[in-house]
Structure 1
């Protein structure tokens, strides 16, 4: 595995154009090597066939020439006359020998051209094409006596020279064609890869937070789809950034509103209560010396009332920040206590709370989400809808694995085309974070109904305890 690591490392940094060009060049080299093997195999076969055919033709020609000369001279054939009649044959070598074995070669000029062509052929190519030699001996008889012989040998150099010439011509042509193809491929790849370079620059723009950047549509359908998806991604990221900015602004505003409300309640309620408590304690201290016991009891009762108000205020503030009973008290009891607190501070209003099949606990995220949803929807119904009757239903649907909540009222309902307030936006964000969904609509004849569905994790599909609580 390590042996291939340098190759992969050196290959990956290369551009796609370079890799494609290198792959095409490698394929062409492999094709050229395969073509060379085929050419050599065919050339060997063709050379052998051509040499044997030329040998047969040359031997037949020499035999007929010897017989013709012998007939013309009355049965004798002169060795001196043979070179004049059998000179100039191609693809064969002819040697005339007398009876003693002395050679009488043909004129060297008869093979100069063939030898010149053969000298241009590389030795390695000649070694690849050369076939086993073949020859034939033709006796020369004069007056019934053998005076010599003509040796005809096949010569492959002429055929090899022709094959070499043809192959070099094809190689030059193939080289020119491949250069033209590679040049065209280089230009075409440049045009094809230009949109990818533009895409890379666009991704860098997105990485730097410039989500308004858009890519021009390329001329190629596949790359045009890629550019279209990139532009859609940029638009989605821009919307997400804008939404995050708006949510952050709303979050800061909600936090400021909560701090303002808490500060107002501390100033308007807790401050006077503490002042009154201090004043009564000082009065009680002065009265204990000479006042009757009844006056002291009256002051003590006043202080008890003030302490009750402080405790109530403390509970409301804690519930607004975070209910302390969550996770410690059964969930249905926490919601029932919230509804009871609304009823205690909303004189003349009627509240109905129904819970069915609820488990003891659902985890902090689900419980605080449901708590805030009940708190916000009831507050909206009282503050903005002027509702006189509010009904809250909370059910655990084990079949669907959902926690279902419905809050309905008989208030004035939502105005047409009214924009959702920060409370409803907060509900949507909380439910969306848990993968749930919600719907707000009108009831007949008047009022508003909000339905919320929250998926439960597998551990809560089967409720730990099933109970039904009704508060009227």
Structure 2
């Protein structure tokens, strides 16, 4: 786990239109449905145009045939009855014609009779056809008027008008059957398209999940290889990227750990030099000052007093130098690390905090901790406690600080909890904690800052026990 980074304020999602918020599958399906609706509308317009032309041609032909039949029938009846054709007999001889309506009228315009159409006994088909469709298809074929002559004078008329109901019903029947077939085919096509799009887009959703995993640092995540060639190439590149990032992280972890060890070795060497070289020198100076102070008592009083003042000043400076040396040793590396048990070193650190801050209360709990750990582990635990406790005293305004350290599952788990004011929302950790986080990350450890209950801050840290184990953990991620 990398160094702690506070949660950033989420960026507002850009305002997008209704269409952009929909999924790709939804957009494709809507586009296909829209295309099918346009095609259906165009097909309906073509069907209506063709039906109007066919109906007009059929009506015209039917009127011509019906007009000739009526004329021949009128002449035949007039010849067989001695020139006296009966208007009442005409409907019996001119019935059964399709697509026309024949009405026999007398001279006063009264309808004597109406000849039945072919198929009239089979039911009224007009009720099956919607009015809007009939209005679109029906055409005006005209009216033909055939006079009925009886005894040399006109006694009536036979009015032949076009009747498109049968033709419209046939067109409607064909159109509705075709529409049902087209609807079924389109439903099947849309269902197949829905399934195919789901199969094609599933790798994209998997890719999105994979990118999210990479974003949070899970470089070991791999994508299954889809059957689509183009998507398979994308999955291969993603997996290669994950492998490269994982290898780079492992290399960085090894480099960081090496840097940590080099720094620790340098600090150890500097601390050893300060302790072994500067310490004895300071001790020698103090011993000589004490000797000079004793010799000053043997000289005349005035000179002895001045020598005493000078030696006192030099002793104060020497005290400050020795104090500075001890602080440098403590900052570089506590000399007790590696020589006494870790719990005892931590206890001395807590006692040192109590001595410098007597108004604060410290609680230390150590469980299942071994006496010795690798040098880098012990120093990291020491620095973590030192930095977290210092922050609680300096910035948290805490009265009580609880420190817990225990070994579990191959790692040391450390908690430092205080009852102070806590961290401000969205506040970034300081340089000290950030440095601690980088050190933990280099050793394969982790850390986080959470709010304590009811108030305060809780810092949780963990570090694998042993540098080799830490590196194995990092490489396995």
TM-score (norm 1): 0.54
Q: Does 1:233 align with 2:241?
A: yes
Match of 1:146 in 2: 154
Correspondence list, 1:305-316, <5 A? none
CA distance in 2, matches of 1:101, 1:201: 85
Q: 1:122 to 1:7 in 2, by over 3 A?
A: farther
Q: Secondary structure at the match of 1:94?
A: strand
Measure, in 2, the Cα distance between the counterparts of 1:205 and 1:63.
Answer: 91
**Match of 2:192?**
184
- Distance in 1 (alpha carbons) for counterparts of 2:179 and 2:16: 34
| 1:170 and 2:174 aligned | no
After TM superposition, the structure 1 = structure 2 runs for residues 396-407 of structure 1, keeping only pairs within 5 Å, are none
Partner of 1:8: 18
Distance 1:247 1:281 in 2: 49
Secondary structure at the counterpart of residue 233 of structure 1: helix
Q: Which residue among 40, 45, 67 is the counterpart of 1:37? A: 45
Report what 1:219 is aligned to.
Answer: 227
State the secondary structure of the residue aligned to 2:87: coil
Q: What residue number does 2:130 align with?
A: 122
Q: Distance in 2 between matches of 1:95 and 1:221?
A: 74
2:125 match: secondary structure? helix
Q: 1:221, CA displacement in angstroms? A: 0.6
Q: Displacement, 1:220?
A: 0.4
**Number of the residue aligned with 1:101:** 109
Q: Provide structure 2 residue ranges, at least 5 long, that are not aligned to the other structure.
A: 1-14, 333-477
Query: Which of these residues, 27, 39, 48, is aligned with residue 35 of structure 2?
Result: 27
Choose the corresponding residue for 1:155, options 149, 153, 163. Answer: 163
For 2:275 and 2:16, locate their aligned partners in 1 and report how far apart those are by CA, in whole Å. Answer: 74
Paired residue secondary structure (1:88): coil
Whose RCO is larger (CA < 8 A, sep 6+)? 2
CA contact (8 A) 1:114 1:158 kept: no
- Alignment match of 1:252 (pick from 253, 260, 269): 260
What TM-score comes out, normalization by structure 2 length?
0.54
Q: Shift of residue 111 of structure 1?
A: 4.6
Instruction: Look up the SS of the partner of 1:8 in the other structure.
Output: coil
Alpha-carbon distance, 1:169 to partner: 0.9
Q: Is the 8 A contact 1:94 1:153 kept in 2?
A: yes
Provide the rounded CA distance (Å) in 2 between the counterparts of 1:201 and 1:6. 22
* Superposed displacement of residue 131, structure 1: 2.9
Q: Which stretch has the larger CA shift, 272-281 or 131-140? A: 272-281
**1:169-203 deviation per Cα after TM superposition (whole angstroms, max 9, x unaligned):** 10111012112212222332232233334334444
Q: Distance in 2 between matches of 1:232 and 1:149?
A: 94
- 1:262 corresponds, among 270, 273, 281, to 270
Q: Which residue in 2 is equivalent to 1:378?
A: none
Structural mapping, 1:70-469, within 5 Å: 70-71=78-79, 77-108=85-116, 110-112=118-120, 116-132=124-140, 134-203=142-211, 205-206=213-214, 209-285=217-293
Check conservation: 1:140, 1:150, Cα contact below 8 A.
Answer: yes
Query: How far apart are the structure 2 equivalents of 1:251 and 1:58?
Result: 110
Q: How many residues align?
A: 298
Is 1:138–1:149's contact at 8 Å kept on the other side of the alignment?
yes
Describe the shift of the 1:213–1:90 C-alpha distance in structure 2 as closer, same or farther (beyond 3 A).
same
User: Residues 171, 6 of structure 1: CA spacing in aligned structure 2 closer, same or farther, 3 A cutoff?
Assistant: farther
Kindly indicate whether the alpha-carbon contact (under 8 Å) linking 1:51 and 1:155 is maintained by their aligned counterparts in 2: yes
CA distance in 1 between counterparts of 2:188 and 2:161 reads: 46
Contact kept, 8 Å, 1:140 with 1:149, in 2: the verdict is yes
Asked if structure 2 preserves the Cα contact closer than 8 Å seen for 1:114 and 1:157, the reply is: no
Report how far residue 254 of structure 1 moved. Answer: 2.3
The CA deviation string for residues 263-316 of structure 1, in whole angstroms up to 9 with x for no partner, is 12312332233334334444555556779x9xx9xxx9xx9xxx9xx9xxx9xx
Q: 1:7 to 1:198 in 2, by over 3 A?
A: closer
- Unpaired segments ≥5 residues, structure 1: 322-472
Q: Secondary structure at the residue paired with 2:144?
A: strand
C-alpha RMSD of the superposition: 3.8
Structure 1 residue 238: deviation in Å?
1.1
* Deviation at residue 225 of structure 1 after TM alignment: 1.1
CA displacement at 1:154 relative to structure 2 = 0.9
| Distance in 2 separating the partners of 1:265 and 1:64 | 139
Contact in 1 for aligned 2:145/2:158 (Cα 8 Å): yes
Quote how far apart the aligned CAs of 1:137 are.
0.9
Give the stretch that moved more between structures: 121-130 or 157-166: 121-130
Query: CA shift at 1:257, angstroms?
Result: 1.8
Q: Look up the SS of the partner of 2:171 in the other structure.
A: helix
Tell me the CA shift for residue 166 of structure 1: 0.9
- Which of residues 46, 50, 56 is equivalent to 1:48? 56
**After the TM superposition, which of the residue ranges 262-271 and 216-225 deviates more from structure 2?**
262-271
1:356 alignment counterpart: none
